[in-house]
Structure 1
Amino acid sequence: MATGLPPGWEVRHSNSKNLPYYFNPSTKESRWEPPEGTDSESLKHYMGQYHTAQLGRDGALAQQGLEGKIRCAHLLVKHRDSRRASSWREAQITRSKEEARGIIENYENKIKSGSTSLGDLATTESDCSSARKRGDLGFFGQGDMQKEFEEASFALKPGEISPVIETASGLHLIERLE
Structure 2
Amino acid sequence: MSSGPETGLPEGWEIRHSNSKNLPYYFHPATKDSRWEPPAGTDPDRLKAYMAKYHSSKGITPAYLDNQGGDKIRAAHLLVKHRDSRRPASWREPRITRSKEEAIEAIKVHLEQITAYENDSSDPNGKSLSELATTESDCSSARKGGDLGFFGRGDMQKEFEEAAFRLNKGEVSGIVETASGVHLIQRLE
Instruction: Name the TM-score class by shorter chain.
Output: 0.7 to 0.9
Q: Is the 8 A contact 1:19 1:132 kept in 2?
A: no
SS in 1 for 2:154: coil
Aligned amino acid, residue 74 of structure 1: H
Aligned amino acid, residue 21 of structure 2: K
Match of 2:127 among 108, 116, 139: 116
Pairwise mapping of residues 22-33 of structure 1 onto structure 2 (< 5 A)?
none
Unaligned runs of 5+ in 2: 118-125
What is the CA RMSD across the aligned residues, in angstroms? 2.9
Match of 1:166 among 167, 177, 189: 177
Q: Matched residues in 1 for 2:127 and 2:80: separation?
A: 17
Q: What is the total number of aligned residue pairs between the two structures?
A: 171
Instruction: State the TM-score, normalizing by the size of structure 1.
Output: 0.77
Tell me what 2:162 maps to. Answer: 151
Q: Matched residues in 1 for 2:90 and 2:47: separation?
A: 13
Unaligned runs of 5+ in 1: none
Deviations 1:14-58 (A, max 9, x none): 4433445566778767665678xx44xx3644653455641334x
Deviations 1:50-93 (A, max 9, x none): 55641334x86675523210000111111122222222222222
Tell me what 1:69 maps to. Answer: 72
Deviates more, 1:15-24 or 1:75-84: 15-24
Identity of aligned residues (%): 60
Q: Aligned in 2, Cα 1:56/1:13: closer, same or farther, shift over 3 Å?
A: closer
Instruction: State the TM-score, normalizing by the size of structure 2.
Output: 0.73
Match of 2:101 among 98, 102, 105: 98
